[in-house]
Amino acid sequence: MGSRRWLAILRSQELGLLCGAAVVVLLAVGSFVIAATRDGASADLRTDELLPFFQNPSPWHFWLYLLLPVFGLYAVNTTLCTWDTTLDRWRKGQRSPWQHGPAVLHVAFLLALFAHLVGGIGSRLGETLVVGAEWTPLGDGRVARLGDVRPEFHPNGQLKQLTVTLDVAPEGQDVPAATVQIAFNRPLSSGWGSHMWFLAGVDEGPVVYLQPREAPGVPWALISALLLVTGAVLMGRRWL
């Protein structure tokens, strides 16, 4: 089979549909496998990290080993299709942004894939920090100290939510501290979400425990989301 034939297959819509279906199936299989092997082969897996899959390879994770090349092929197909469509419309004089909504959506999809890849390779947990009344380095050039702790309880007495107020300031600089509120599902963050500190608990003192997490894929995911909204707006013009 000649190179032109291979190129035609790589840029075909049929290949894109096959890749999309394969991704759905493999992710579905993976969700069942992880749940079934949580105490065994999948015990070391955390959130979106990819490295544990390769640090302790297992036949149970065949779905992930297949998923990566499928995603790569999907990305190549999307790139070629987007390039061909955009170039064709440009040559036909269709240069209004409203004509290129689908291309923007495709770029958003590619960035989302890249965000997952960067996050999967670069995400990691740091050592738990104990923050009390004294200034504690966060590890990103800032320090934090505990303000107050406000628990909320269910009617049966169980803890519902924990809201913590922190004073955060640049380390070694004589500037006013910023007051930040965090909760179990509302971490402290910086760098567009690439550095996060999750509330892990509270103890007598009082002191709070923060779990640092590096998440380099988050900024790329935010850009992808912005492009997704932009593409949807451009596409929506067709129905107005």
Other Cβ atoms less than 10 A from the Cβ of 63: the count is 18
Task: Give the CA distances from residue 206 to residues 30, 34, 233, in Å, rounded to whole numbers and listed in that order.
Answer: 41, 37, 48
- Give the N- to C-terminal CA distance of the chain in Å, as an integer: 46
My answer on whether omega of the bond before 206 falls inside 30° of 0, hence cis, is yes
Low-confidence ranges of the chain (pLDDT < 50): none
**Residue 16 and residue 84 in contact, taking contact as beta carbons nearer than 8 Å:** no
Strands (E), 75-194: 124-125, 129-131, 136-137, 142-153, 159-170, 178-182, 188-190
Q: What are the tens digits of pLDDT across the range 62-89? A: 999 999 999 999 999 999 999 999 999 8
pTM above 0.75, yes or no: yes
Cα 46 to Cα 23: distance, rounded to the nearest angstrom: 20
Q: What are the tens digits of pLDDT across the range 6-19? A: 888 898 989 999 99
The confidence score (pLDDT) of residue 239 equals 59
User: Which of 146, 137, 147, 118 shows the shortest CA–CA distance to 51?
Assistant: 118
The confidence score (pLDDT) of residue 30 equals 93
The confidence score (pLDDT) of residue 237 equals 65
The confidence score (pLDDT) of residue 4 equals 81
